[in-house]
Protein backbone atom coordinates (compact mmCIF):
# COMPACT_ATOMS: atom_id res chain seq x y z
CA UNK A 1 0.00 0.00 0.00
CA UNK A 2 1.37 3.43 -0.84
CA UNK A 3 2.31 5.84 1.91
CA UNK A 4 -0.39 8.36 0.95
CA UNK A 5 -3.02 5.63 0.82
CA UNK A 6 -2.07 4.43 4.29
CA UNK A 7 -2.31 7.93 5.75
CA UNK A 8 -5.58 8.53 3.93
CA UNK A 9 -7.09 5.33 5.32
CA UNK A 10 -5.91 6.07 8.82
CA UNK A 11 -6.71 9.75 9.24
CA UNK A 12 -9.37 10.41 6.66
CA UNK A 13 -11.04 7.18 5.46
CA UNK A 14 -14.81 6.85 5.09
CA UNK A 15 -15.52 8.24 8.56
CA UNK A 16 -13.17 11.20 8.05
CA UNK A 17 -15.56 12.66 5.49
CA UNK A 18 -18.44 12.41 7.98
CA UNK A 19 -16.37 14.04 10.68
CA UNK A 20 -15.44 16.88 8.39
CA UNK A 21 -19.02 17.42 7.26
CA UNK A 22 -20.11 17.65 10.85
CA UNK A 23 -17.38 20.06 11.87
CA UNK A 24 -19.35 23.13 12.79
CA UNK A 25 -18.09 26.58 12.00
CA UNK A 26 -19.26 28.26 15.17
CA UNK A 27 -16.53 30.02 17.06
CA UNK A 28 -15.88 28.87 20.60
CA UNK A 29 -13.08 30.06 22.79
CA UNK A 30 -12.42 27.92 25.80
CA UNK A 31 -9.59 30.01 27.06
CA UNK A 32 -10.50 31.49 30.45
CA UNK A 33 -7.61 33.91 30.17
CA UNK A 34 -9.76 35.62 27.53
CA UNK A 35 -12.25 36.39 30.29
CA UNK A 36 -9.63 38.19 32.28
CA UNK A 37 -8.63 41.80 32.51
CA UNK A 38 -7.21 42.95 29.18
CA UNK A 39 -4.30 44.55 31.00
CA UNK A 40 -3.06 41.23 32.22
CA UNK A 41 -2.35 40.21 28.68
CA UNK A 42 0.16 42.32 26.86
CA UNK A 43 0.27 42.66 23.11
CA UNK A 44 2.59 39.66 22.77
CA UNK A 45 -0.32 37.53 23.84
CA UNK A 46 -2.48 38.80 21.06
CA UNK A 47 -2.81 36.46 18.18
CA UNK A 48 -3.89 36.82 14.64
CA UNK A 49 -7.60 36.71 13.99
CA UNK A 50 -8.57 33.10 14.57
CA UNK A 51 -10.20 30.84 12.06
CA UNK A 52 -13.63 29.54 12.99
CA UNK A 53 -13.26 26.77 15.52
CA UNK A 54 -14.40 23.32 14.60
CA UNK A 55 -16.17 20.73 16.66
CA UNK A 56 -15.22 17.08 16.51
CA UNK A 57 -17.90 14.63 15.47
CA UNK A 58 -19.98 12.93 18.10
CA UNK A 59 -20.59 9.22 17.93
CA UNK A 60 -23.78 8.39 16.08
CA UNK A 61 -26.24 5.60 16.95
CA UNK A 62 -24.94 3.51 14.08
CA UNK A 63 -21.61 3.15 15.84
CA UNK A 64 -23.11 1.18 18.72
CA UNK A 65 -24.25 -2.44 18.73
CA UNK A 66 -27.52 -3.60 20.33
CA UNK A 67 -25.90 -3.64 23.79
CA UNK A 68 -24.97 0.00 23.38
CA UNK A 69 -21.28 -0.86 23.04
CA UNK A 70 -18.80 0.27 20.47
CA UNK A 71 -16.05 -2.03 19.23
CA UNK A 72 -12.42 -1.19 20.00
CA UNK A 73 -11.70 -1.09 16.26
CA UNK A 74 -14.50 1.41 15.64
CA UNK A 75 -13.41 3.48 18.60
CA UNK A 76 -9.79 3.56 17.45
CA UNK A 77 -10.86 4.37 13.92
CA UNK A 78 -12.97 7.30 15.07
CA UNK A 79 -10.23 8.53 17.40
CA UNK A 80 -7.60 8.44 14.61
CA UNK A 81 -9.94 10.35 12.33
CA UNK A 82 -10.69 12.93 15.00
CA UNK A 83 -6.94 13.41 15.45
CA UNK A 84 -6.58 13.70 11.67
CA UNK A 85 -9.31 16.34 11.59
CA UNK A 86 -7.64 18.27 14.45
CA UNK A 87 -4.24 18.33 12.78
CA UNK A 88 -5.86 19.22 9.47
CA UNK A 89 -7.71 22.18 11.00
CA UNK A 90 -4.75 23.33 13.12
CA UNK A 91 -2.25 23.19 10.29
CA UNK A 92 -4.48 24.90 7.75
CA UNK A 93 -2.21 27.92 7.28
CA UNK A 94 0.90 25.80 6.95
CA UNK A 95 -0.85 23.38 4.63
CA UNK A 96 -1.98 26.13 2.26
CA UNK A 97 1.58 27.36 2.18
CA UNK A 98 3.32 23.97 1.83
CA UNK A 99 0.95 22.54 -0.75
CA UNK A 100 0.85 25.65 -2.87
CA UNK A 101 4.61 25.98 -2.89
CA UNK A 102 5.16 22.33 -3.67
CA UNK A 103 2.57 22.41 -6.46
CA UNK A 104 4.24 25.48 -7.93
CA UNK A 105 7.64 23.83 -7.77
CA UNK A 106 6.41 20.69 -9.46
CA UNK A 107 4.69 22.73 -12.17
CA UNK A 108 7.76 24.88 -12.74
CA UNK A 109 10.39 22.17 -12.71
CA UNK A 110 8.98 19.13 -14.38
CA UNK A 111 12.22 17.19 -14.45
CA UNK A 112 14.07 16.00 -11.37
CA UNK A 113 17.39 17.83 -11.58
CA UNK A 114 19.73 19.99 -9.48
CA UNK A 115 17.70 23.12 -10.18
CA UNK A 116 14.61 21.46 -8.77
CA UNK A 117 16.43 20.31 -5.63
CA UNK A 118 17.85 23.77 -5.06
CA UNK A 119 14.42 25.35 -5.38
CA UNK A 120 13.01 22.73 -2.99
CA UNK A 121 15.75 23.48 -0.47
CA UNK A 122 14.92 27.17 -0.64
CA UNK A 123 11.22 26.48 -0.16
CA UNK A 124 11.79 24.30 2.90
CA UNK A 125 14.23 26.72 4.52
CA UNK A 126 11.69 29.52 4.06
CA UNK A 127 9.11 27.31 5.81
CA UNK A 128 11.37 27.21 8.89
CA UNK A 129 12.41 23.59 8.45
CA UNK A 130 15.98 24.48 9.43
CA UNK A 131 19.11 24.42 7.29
CA UNK A 132 20.71 21.16 8.43
CA UNK A 133 17.44 19.26 8.27
CA UNK A 134 16.72 20.56 4.78
CA UNK A 135 20.17 19.53 3.58
CA UNK A 136 19.76 16.07 5.02
CA UNK A 137 16.29 15.72 3.54
CA UNK A 138 17.25 16.77 0.02
CA UNK A 139 20.39 14.64 0.14
CA UNK A 140 18.25 11.61 0.86
CA UNK A 141 15.76 12.62 -1.81
CA UNK A 142 18.51 12.86 -4.42
CA UNK A 143 19.67 9.36 -3.52
CA UNK A 144 16.14 7.98 -3.54
CA UNK A 145 15.33 9.58 -6.91
CA UNK A 146 18.47 8.05 -8.35
CA UNK A 147 17.87 4.66 -6.79
CA UNK A 148 14.32 4.47 -8.11
CA UNK A 149 15.13 6.29 -11.32
CA UNK A 150 12.47 8.95 -10.72
CA UNK A 151 12.56 11.44 -13.60
CA UNK A 152 9.41 13.49 -13.15
CA UNK A 153 9.08 15.81 -10.17
CA UNK A 154 5.41 14.79 -9.98
CA UNK A 155 6.52 11.29 -9.01
CA UNK A 156 8.62 12.69 -6.19
CA UNK A 157 5.68 14.26 -4.34
CA UNK A 158 4.88 11.28 -2.16
CA UNK A 159 8.55 10.47 -1.57
CA UNK A 160 9.12 13.97 -0.18
CA UNK A 161 6.31 13.59 2.36
CA UNK A 162 7.43 10.10 3.29
CA UNK A 163 11.02 11.26 3.81
CA UNK A 164 9.81 13.95 6.20
CA UNK A 165 8.38 11.27 8.47
CA UNK A 166 11.50 9.14 8.12
CA UNK A 167 13.80 11.99 8.95
CA UNK A 168 11.76 12.67 12.02
CA UNK A 169 12.10 9.12 13.27
CA UNK A 170 15.79 8.64 12.70
CA UNK A 171 18.65 10.06 14.75
CA UNK A 172 17.70 8.63 18.10
CA UNK A 173 14.95 6.77 19.83
CA UNK A 174 13.75 9.60 22.02
CA UNK A 175 10.05 9.18 22.17
CA UNK A 176 7.16 11.59 22.15
CA UNK A 177 5.60 9.62 25.02
CA UNK A 178 5.32 11.34 28.37
CA UNK A 179 7.23 9.88 31.29
CA UNK A 180 4.16 9.25 33.43
CA UNK A 181 3.60 6.19 35.56
CA UNK A 182 0.64 4.90 37.48
CA UNK A 183 1.06 4.49 41.22
CA UNK A 184 3.35 7.44 41.84
CA UNK A 185 3.11 11.21 42.06
CA UNK A 186 4.16 12.47 38.63
CA UNK A 187 5.46 16.03 38.52
CA UNK A 188 5.46 18.08 35.31
CA UNK A 189 7.27 21.42 35.28
CA UNK A 190 6.36 23.92 32.58
CA UNK A 191 9.02 26.44 31.57
CA UNK A 192 9.52 29.02 28.82
CA UNK A 193 9.72 32.72 28.03
CA UNK A 194 6.82 35.14 28.47
CA UNK A 195 3.63 34.63 26.56
CA UNK A 196 4.48 31.36 24.82
CA UNK A 197 1.43 29.57 26.24
CA UNK A 198 2.66 27.83 29.42
CA UNK A 199 -0.40 28.51 31.55
CA UNK A 200 -2.87 27.75 28.76
CA UNK A 201 -1.05 24.51 28.02
CA UNK A 202 -1.26 23.54 31.71
CA UNK A 203 -5.05 24.05 31.57
CA UNK A 204 -5.32 21.90 28.46
CA UNK A 205 -3.06 19.19 29.89
CA UNK A 206 -5.04 19.13 33.13
CA UNK A 207 -8.22 18.67 31.08
CA UNK A 208 -6.67 15.86 29.03
CA UNK A 209 -5.35 13.94 32.04
CA UNK A 210 -8.56 14.44 33.98
CA UNK A 211 -10.53 13.02 31.06
CA UNK A 212 -8.19 10.02 31.20
CA UNK A 213 -9.31 9.50 34.79
CA UNK A 214 -6.23 10.87 36.53
CA UNK A 215 -6.29 12.95 39.69
CA UNK A 216 -4.65 16.23 38.71
CA UNK A 217 -3.43 19.20 40.76
CA UNK A 218 -1.86 22.49 39.65
CA UNK A 219 0.84 24.57 41.36
CA UNK A 220 0.74 28.34 40.80
CA UNK A 221 4.49 28.84 40.54
CA UNK A 222 4.28 32.09 38.59
CA UNK A 223 4.31 34.40 41.57
CA UNK A 224 5.92 37.16 39.50
CA UNK A 225 3.46 38.38 36.86
CA UNK A 226 0.41 40.26 38.12
CA UNK A 227 -2.69 38.17 37.56
CA UNK A 228 -0.81 34.94 36.80
CA UNK A 229 -2.05 33.12 39.91
CA UNK A 230 -5.62 34.18 39.20
CA UNK A 231 -5.30 32.99 35.58
CA UNK A 232 -4.26 29.51 36.71
CA UNK A 233 -7.10 29.44 39.26
CA UNK A 234 -9.61 30.19 36.52
CA UNK A 235 -8.25 27.24 34.56
CA UNK A 236 -8.44 25.07 37.69
CA UNK A 237 -12.09 25.95 38.18
CA UNK A 238 -12.95 25.42 34.59
CA UNK A 239 -11.33 22.01 34.39
CA UNK A 240 -12.31 21.04 37.94
CA UNK A 241 -8.89 20.52 39.49
CA UNK A 242 -7.37 21.95 42.66
CA UNK A 243 -4.82 24.77 42.42
CA UNK A 244 -2.23 25.30 45.18
CA UNK A 245 -1.06 28.89 45.43
CA UNK A 246 0.51 31.47 47.70
CA UNK A 247 0.42 35.22 47.41
CA UNK A 248 1.97 37.19 44.57
CA UNK A 249 5.67 37.81 45.11
CA UNK A 250 6.28 34.74 47.26
CA UNK A 251 9.09 32.28 46.57
CA UNK A 252 8.05 29.91 43.74
CA UNK A 253 10.13 27.12 45.30
CA UNK A 254 8.00 27.41 48.45
CA UNK A 255 4.83 27.11 46.36
CA UNK A 256 6.17 23.92 44.81
CA UNK A 257 7.06 22.54 48.23
CA UNK A 258 3.53 23.21 49.48
CA UNK A 259 1.95 21.80 46.35
CA UNK A 260 3.96 18.59 46.54
CA UNK A 261 2.91 18.05 50.14
CA UNK A 262 -0.73 18.65 49.26
CA UNK A 263 -0.44 16.35 46.24
CA UNK A 264 1.07 13.58 48.37
CA UNK A 265 -1.65 13.94 51.00
CA UNK A 266 -4.41 13.80 48.43
CA UNK A 267 -2.89 10.99 46.40
CA UNK A 268 -2.67 13.04 43.28
CA UNK A 269 -1.46 11.29 40.13
CA UNK A 270 -0.17 14.30 38.24
CA UNK A 271 0.98 17.66 39.60
CA UNK A 272 1.57 20.29 36.91
CA UNK A 273 3.65 23.30 37.94
CA UNK A 274 3.38 26.70 36.31
CA UNK A 275 6.39 29.01 36.34
CA UNK A 276 6.96 32.66 35.50
CA UNK A 277 7.94 33.49 31.94
CA UNK A 278 11.65 34.12 31.96
CA UNK A 279 13.92 35.59 29.38
CA UNK A 280 16.62 33.13 28.63
CA UNK A 281 19.33 35.77 29.04
CA UNK A 282 18.37 36.69 32.61
CA UNK A 283 20.67 34.51 34.66
CA UNK A 284 18.97 35.20 38.03
CA UNK A 285 15.66 33.92 36.68
CA UNK A 286 17.38 30.88 35.29
CA UNK A 287 18.94 30.23 38.70
CA UNK A 288 15.53 30.53 40.30
CA UNK A 289 14.35 27.79 37.96
CA UNK A 290 17.16 25.54 39.14
CA UNK A 291 16.14 26.15 42.74
CA UNK A 292 12.56 25.20 41.93
CA UNK A 293 13.80 22.00 40.33
CA UNK A 294 16.02 21.17 43.29
CA UNK A 295 13.14 21.56 45.72
CA UNK A 296 10.91 19.34 43.58
CA UNK A 297 13.68 16.76 43.23
CA UNK A 298 14.28 16.62 46.95
CA UNK A 299 10.60 16.10 47.73
CA UNK A 300 9.91 13.47 45.06
CA UNK A 301 12.69 11.19 43.81
CA UNK A 302 13.41 11.60 40.07
CA UNK A 303 11.04 14.57 39.84
CA UNK A 304 10.31 16.60 37.86
CA UNK A 305 9.51 13.64 35.64
CA UNK A 306 8.99 15.99 32.75
CA UNK A 307 10.43 19.49 32.33
CA UNK A 308 8.53 20.77 29.33
CA UNK A 309 9.77 23.78 27.44
CA UNK A 310 6.96 25.74 25.84
CA UNK A 311 7.83 27.35 22.50
CA UNK A 312 5.64 29.56 20.36
CA UNK A 313 5.68 28.23 16.79
CA UNK A 314 4.91 31.68 15.39
CA UNK A 315 8.30 32.95 16.57
CA UNK A 316 10.17 30.66 14.19
CA UNK A 317 13.95 30.66 14.48
CA UNK A 318 13.71 32.63 17.71
CA UNK A 319 12.00 29.63 19.30
CA UNK A 320 15.02 27.53 18.33
CA UNK A 321 17.40 29.94 19.96
CA UNK A 322 15.28 30.02 23.13
CA UNK A 323 15.42 26.24 23.25
CA UNK A 324 19.20 26.20 22.85
CA UNK A 325 19.66 28.56 25.80
CA UNK A 326 17.20 26.76 28.05
CA UNK A 327 18.84 23.47 27.20
CA UNK A 328 22.21 24.83 28.29
CA UNK A 329 21.08 25.82 31.74
CA UNK A 330 18.44 23.26 32.56
CA UNK A 331 17.42 19.78 31.65
CA UNK A 332 14.53 19.93 29.19
CA UNK A 333 12.81 16.59 28.63
CA UNK A 334 10.37 17.67 25.95
CA UNK A 335 8.93 20.53 23.96
CA UNK A 336 5.38 21.79 23.76
CA UNK A 337 5.07 23.72 20.52
CA UNK A 338 2.12 26.07 20.85
CA UNK A 339 0.23 28.17 18.30
CA UNK A 340 1.02 25.98 15.31
CA UNK A 341 -2.39 27.11 14.09
CA UNK A 342 -1.08 30.67 13.96
CA UNK A 343 1.80 30.09 11.56
CA UNK A 344 2.18 29.18 7.91
CA UNK A 345 5.68 27.95 8.68
CA UNK A 346 4.88 24.66 10.36
CA UNK A 347 8.27 23.29 9.32
CA UNK A 348 9.64 24.51 12.66
CA UNK A 349 8.62 21.16 14.20
CA UNK A 350 11.23 19.38 12.10
CA UNK A 351 13.92 21.90 12.90
CA UNK A 352 13.30 21.52 16.62
CA UNK A 353 13.39 17.77 16.51
CA UNK A 354 16.46 17.43 14.35
CA UNK A 355 18.55 20.34 15.46
CA UNK A 356 17.89 20.22 19.18
CA UNK A 357 17.40 16.49 19.63
CA UNK A 358 14.57 17.17 22.06
CA UNK A 359 11.27 15.40 21.33
CA UNK A 360 8.19 17.52 20.64
CA UNK A 361 5.64 15.98 23.02
CA UNK A 362 2.58 18.14 22.40
CA UNK A 363 1.50 20.67 19.84
CA UNK A 364 -0.99 23.49 20.28
CA UNK A 365 -3.39 23.54 17.35
CA UNK A 366 -5.81 26.20 18.61
CA UNK A 367 -7.27 27.73 21.72
CA UNK A 368 -9.90 25.16 22.63
CA UNK A 369 -9.37 22.71 25.46
CA UNK A 370 -8.84 19.74 23.19
CA UNK A 371 -6.66 21.60 20.73
CA UNK A 372 -3.53 20.44 22.52
CA UNK A 373 -2.59 17.15 20.87
CA UNK A 374 0.19 14.65 21.48
CA UNK A 375 2.68 15.09 18.68
CA UNK A 376 3.05 12.35 16.16
CA UNK A 377 4.98 12.73 12.88
CA UNK A 378 2.32 10.96 10.84
CA UNK A 379 -0.58 13.07 12.09
CA UNK A 380 1.64 16.08 11.45
CA UNK A 381 2.40 15.28 7.80
CA UNK A 382 -1.25 14.38 7.29
CA UNK A 383 -2.15 17.87 8.56
CA UNK A 384 0.48 19.45 6.33
CA UNK A 385 -0.48 17.66 3.13
CA UNK A 386 -4.05 16.46 3.75
CA UNK A 387 -5.57 17.69 0.47
CA UNK A 388 -2.76 16.13 -1.52
CA UNK A 389 -3.11 12.89 0.42
CA UNK A 390 -6.89 12.78 0.06
CA UNK A 391 -6.78 13.48 -3.67
CA UNK A 392 -4.29 10.71 -4.14
CA UNK A 393 -5.82 7.83 -6.04
CA UNK A 394 -3.77 4.71 -5.91
CA UNK A 395 -3.35 3.19 -9.32
CA UNK A 396 -4.36 -0.49 -9.24
CA UNK A 397 -1.36 -2.77 -9.82
CA UNK A 398 -2.68 -4.13 -13.10
CA UNK A 399 -3.01 -0.61 -14.55
CA UNK A 400 0.28 0.73 -13.28
CA UNK A 401 2.85 0.54 -16.04
CA UNK A 402 5.71 -0.24 -13.73
CA UNK A 403 8.37 -2.45 -15.19
CA UNK A 404 10.29 -3.36 -12.03
CA UNK A 405 11.32 -0.12 -10.29
CA UNK A 406 10.69 2.87 -12.53
CA UNK A 407 9.39 5.47 -10.16
CA UNK A 408 7.03 3.17 -8.37
CA UNK A 409 5.72 5.21 -5.49
CA UNK A 410 3.79 2.36 -3.99
CA UNK A 411 6.52 0.80 -1.89
CA UNK A 412 5.87 -0.05 1.71
CA UNK A 413 7.07 2.54 4.19
CA UNK A 414 9.98 1.43 6.28
N1 LIG B 1 -4.03 30.04 18.75
C2 LIG B 1 -3.42 29.53 19.81
N3 LIG B 1 -3.25 30.31 20.90
C4 LIG B 1 -2.62 29.80 21.96
C5 LIG B 1 -2.13 28.47 21.96
N6 LIG B 1 -1.54 28.25 23.17
C7 LIG B 1 -1.65 29.40 23.86
N8 LIG B 1 -2.30 30.35 23.15
C9 LIG B 1 -2.59 31.73 23.54
O10 LIG B 1 -1.38 32.39 23.87
C11 LIG B 1 -1.63 33.42 24.83
C12 LIG B 1 -0.61 33.35 25.96
O13 LIG B 1 -0.83 32.19 26.71
P14 LIG B 1 -0.38 32.00 28.23
O15 LIG B 1 -0.73 30.62 28.58
O16 LIG B 1 -0.90 33.08 29.09
O17 LIG B 1 1.20 32.17 28.11
P18 LIG B 1 2.29 32.06 29.26
O19 LIG B 1 3.49 31.42 28.68
O20 LIG B 1 1.73 31.43 30.48
O21 LIG B 1 2.59 33.62 29.52
P22 LIG B 1 3.29 34.29 30.80
O23 LIG B 1 2.58 33.75 31.99
O24 LIG B 1 3.10 35.75 30.61
O25 LIG B 1 4.74 33.93 30.76
C26 LIG B 1 -3.09 33.22 25.28
O27 LIG B 1 -3.89 34.17 24.66
C28 LIG B 1 -3.43 31.83 24.78
O29 LIG B 1 -4.80 31.67 24.48
C30 LIG B 1 -2.32 27.67 20.78
O31 LIG B 1 -1.91 26.51 20.67
N32 LIG B 1 -2.96 28.26 19.75
MG1 LIG C 1 1.64 32.04 32.45
Separation between Cα atoms, residue 166 and residue 382, nearest integer Å: 14
103 belongs to a structural domain = no
The pLDDT of residue 155: 92
Q: Which of 195, 201, 230, 273 to mutate to test the pocket of ligand 1 (most atoms within 8 A of CB)?
A: 195
274 belongs to a structural domain = yes
Separation between Cα atoms, residue 192 and residue 337, nearest integer Å: 11
Domains identified in the chain, total number: 1
The pLDDT of residue 280: 60
CATH of the domain at 359: 3.40.50.300
Tell me which DSSP letter residue 9 carries: I
253 belongs to a structural domain = yes
What pTM does this model have?
0.83
Residues (pLDDT < 50) of the chain are 23-29, 33-57, 399-414
Q: Which of 32, 45, 326, 343 to mutate to test the pocket of ligand 1 (most atoms within 8 A of CB)?
A: 45
The pLDDT of residue 50: 39
Q: Is 34 annotated as a binding residue?
A: no
The pLDDT of residue 410: 41
Phi, psi of 361 (to 5 degrees): -95, -35
The pLDDT of residue 36: 44
How many Cα atoms are found within 13 Å in the side-chain-facing hemisphere of 180?
A: 21
Domain that holds residue 192: 186-376
Kindly state the helix (H) or strand (E) to which residue 329 belongs, with its residue range. helix 317-329
93 belongs to a structural domain = no
Triad 341, 85, 14: Cα angle to 5°: 160
Q: Which of 263, 227, 233, 261 is nearest to 245 (CA)?
A: 233
Pocket of ligand 1 (CB under 6 A): 31, 33, 45, 47, 192, 194-200, 222, 225, 228, 277, 310, 338-339, 341-342, 364, 366-367
How many whole angstroms from 367 Cα to the centroid of ligand 1? 8
Q: Is 369 annotated as a binding residue?
A: no
222 belongs to a structural domain = yes
12 belongs to a structural domain = no
Phi, psi of 240 (to 5 degrees): 85, 45
37 belongs to a structural domain = no
- Say how many residues make up the chain: 414
300 belongs to a structural domain = yes
Separation between Cα atoms, residue 228 and residue 231, nearest integer Å: 5
Amino acid sequence: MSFFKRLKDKFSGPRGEDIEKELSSEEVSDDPSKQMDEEQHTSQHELEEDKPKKKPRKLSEADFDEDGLISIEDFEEIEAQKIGAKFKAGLEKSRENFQEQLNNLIARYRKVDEEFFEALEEMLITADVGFNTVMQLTEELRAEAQRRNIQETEDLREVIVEKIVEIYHQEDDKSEAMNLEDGRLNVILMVGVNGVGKTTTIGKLAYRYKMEGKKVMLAAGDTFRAGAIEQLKVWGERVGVEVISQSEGSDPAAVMYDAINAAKNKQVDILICDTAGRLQNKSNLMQELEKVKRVIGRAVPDAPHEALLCLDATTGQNALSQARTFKEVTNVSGIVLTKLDGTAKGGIVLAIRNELKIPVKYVGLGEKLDDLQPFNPESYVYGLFADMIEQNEEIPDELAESPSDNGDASHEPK
